[in-house]
Chains A and B, each alone.
Chain A
Amino acid sequence: DIQMTQSPASLSASLGETVSIECLASEGISNDLAWYQQKSGKSPQLLIYAASRLQDGVPSRFSGSGSGTRYSLKISGMQPEDEADYFCQQSYKYPNTFGAGTKLELK
């Protein structure tokens, strides 16, 4: 199975701060990576697919980058509504696997 190592496990950011979350795959996944946001008590919502493509309706402050085994999600200017858990997922090989998640809080 492809292991997705996500970091950090948690972070706290101030309003307007830029934050980054990383996922390291145990082998190359050819940009077959998505990022999801999950707010408390809600189902996950797609933010980014194909490593860098922004899902329709997602604010442009969210961006994704990376290649090979290293991928990152950046939030350019933390907003109160961005407080949530974030997960990466690879769909390159079966079984698809998720990162352990990052809990993002507003400082």
Chain B
Amino acid sequence: AQSVTQLGSHVSVSEGALVLLRCNYSSSVPPYLFWYVQYPNQGLQLLLKYTTGATLVKGINGFEAEFKKSETSFHLTKPSAHMSDAAEYFCAVSVVNTGFQKLVFGTGTRLLVSP
């Protein structure tokens, strides 16, 4: 069964510092992987996704993630944190069964950005 593990429930960085949020997956088939962001009192917004092709995917707000099959990882990075990046980030793997997709989420990582 597909699953996702996010290491670190909280990550704290200073404004301008590198952001690294870790995600490891388990999948018996080639995975489709997603990062979602949740700002306070809002829904989940897609940051980026990996389906096939280029293993380095770029998303919105300067985020990117690299699919590494050998490490079963899909870590999210951003070179320079902004105060506005403070939010909860969820990694998810897509499970497709008879053509219908469901998302299996990790437990989330709360990113804290200090001035």
Are A and B bound to each other?
no
Binding site for B on A (CB under 8 A): none
